Amino acid sequence: MMSQTDLAAMLCSRLCHDMLSPVGALANGLELLADEQDPQMRSKVIELLEQSAKISTDKLKFFRLAFGAAGGFGEAIPIEEAKDVIDALASDAKRVTVQWAVPEPSLPKPAVKVLLNLAQIALDSLVRGGTLDIGAERREGAVEIVARARGDRIAFDETIGRALQGDLHESEITSRTAAAHMISVLAAEMDGGLQYKLGDGALVLGAVLPEPEGLIG
């Protein structure tokens, strides 16, 4: 079984991969700004720097909440925090509309981690834009979560789907599948489960997670 250290290393690799592009754009922009004298070109470079800085910040906020210890351990997290980071990522991705259906003001931290990761997987599948629907509700002592991507083209590696369901061999767990594997382990620890369905121009990702007793209600 993959050790926690190996999984942490895979997640760090994923973070570095996702951060390389916007941070590299910042470095390149600063080099251009140092050499550029034309006011109009400098204005365009500054605009690109601002955009790259925003994308970098948005990604770090997501990783902090989705992978890290933000909010403490075992605590409920306001749903607005999750909404803010996903809306920001969707704004950076362009051509994606996010629709929320989460009546709860807060959810247990493990449920928020699962919601965020499912939402990002769905968002990543919308390579030509589309709609991302996110829903979550408490029902009979459990939190039910759905993230649905709808668009002209859905790009989804079903290896990630197998990771969500805990069906990957250890050798198949890479930086690309580590996040899905992480929430699969998290769901299993809670006696819950994850599932996915791909077809008819949509990708549907779901989770049922029994609530910690102290947070029910």
Report how far residue 70's alpha carbon sits from residue 73's, in angstroms, rounded to the nearest whole number: 8
Output the pLDDT for position 68: 81
Please compute Rg for the chain using Cα positions. 19
What pLDDT score was predicted for residue 217?
46
The pLDDT assigned to 62 comes to 95
Residue 213 has a pLDDT of 64
pLDDT in tens, 85-120: 999 999 988 899 999 999 999 999 999 999 999 999
Q: Once rounded to an integer, what is the mean pLDDT over residues 205-217?
A: 76
pLDDT at 106: 94
Domains of the chain: 4-215 (3.30.565.10)
Structure tokens, 131: 């709609």
pLDDT digits (tens, 9 = 90+) for 140-173: 999 999 999 999 999 999 999 999 999 988 888 8
